Amino acid sequence: MQRVGTTPDSFYLPDYFDLRFYRPFARVPFIAQLAEELRSNFRWNGQLWNINHAICTHYKDGSDNIGFHDDKIRNITPGSPILIFSLGNSRDLQLKPNSDANKVVTVSMQSGSLFVLGAQTNASWKHAIPVAKDTVGSRISIIFRDIKTEIDTTKPVYFKKIWRD
């Protein structure tokens, strides 16, 4: 067993659990390459952003969905965009302004597309991936962010499992 941390909230992990393998950047070179492309070439509001974080979400079929929410910004660089890269089957992204519960804008998230959720839009609109009306296969989204928190590689990475096997 390996002890992670020295404070009262530290815990033990089995020896076979190697934290390096639970980091998408280390595990999937394709994601690291995409992040590098975005860091070097993607300008938003006239500047480059330090895209240093990725979360992958797998929607196994049209029944997998995410309800309306805004993205929490506690750890992200102020003003930075949230970049949603889509792979696989197209799914609709719905956007709803906080000021008007009856208005919904729908964007078709095509494979290979990059949707830019700007900081102001995230602050004043909610977004969702609704259940698909038609039969649809799987989709993966990779969400890139500019995280300002330093990552301590000696600490564990927490995973929230949001898909069903």
Binding mask 44-83 for ligand AKG (x = CB under 6 A): -------------x--------x----x------------
Nearest distance, CB of residue 151 and ligand AKG, angstroms = 19
d(CA 84, CA 99): 24
Residue 87 as a binder of ligand AKG (CB under 6 A): the answer is no
Nearest to 69 by CA among 129, 148, 135, 149: 129
Q: How far is the CB of 123 from ligand AKG (least distance, A)?
A: 14
Q: How many residues bind ligand AKG (CB under 6 A)?
A: 10
Contact positions with ligand AKG (CB under 6 A) in 119-148: 127, 129, 141, 143
Interface with ligand AKG (CB under 6 A), residue from 34, 54, 93, 132? 93
Q: Quick one: which of 47, 35, 33, 20 has its CA closest to 118?
A: 47
- Note the residues at the interface with ligand AKG (CB under 6 A): 57, 66, 71, 84, 93, 109, 127, 129, 141, 143
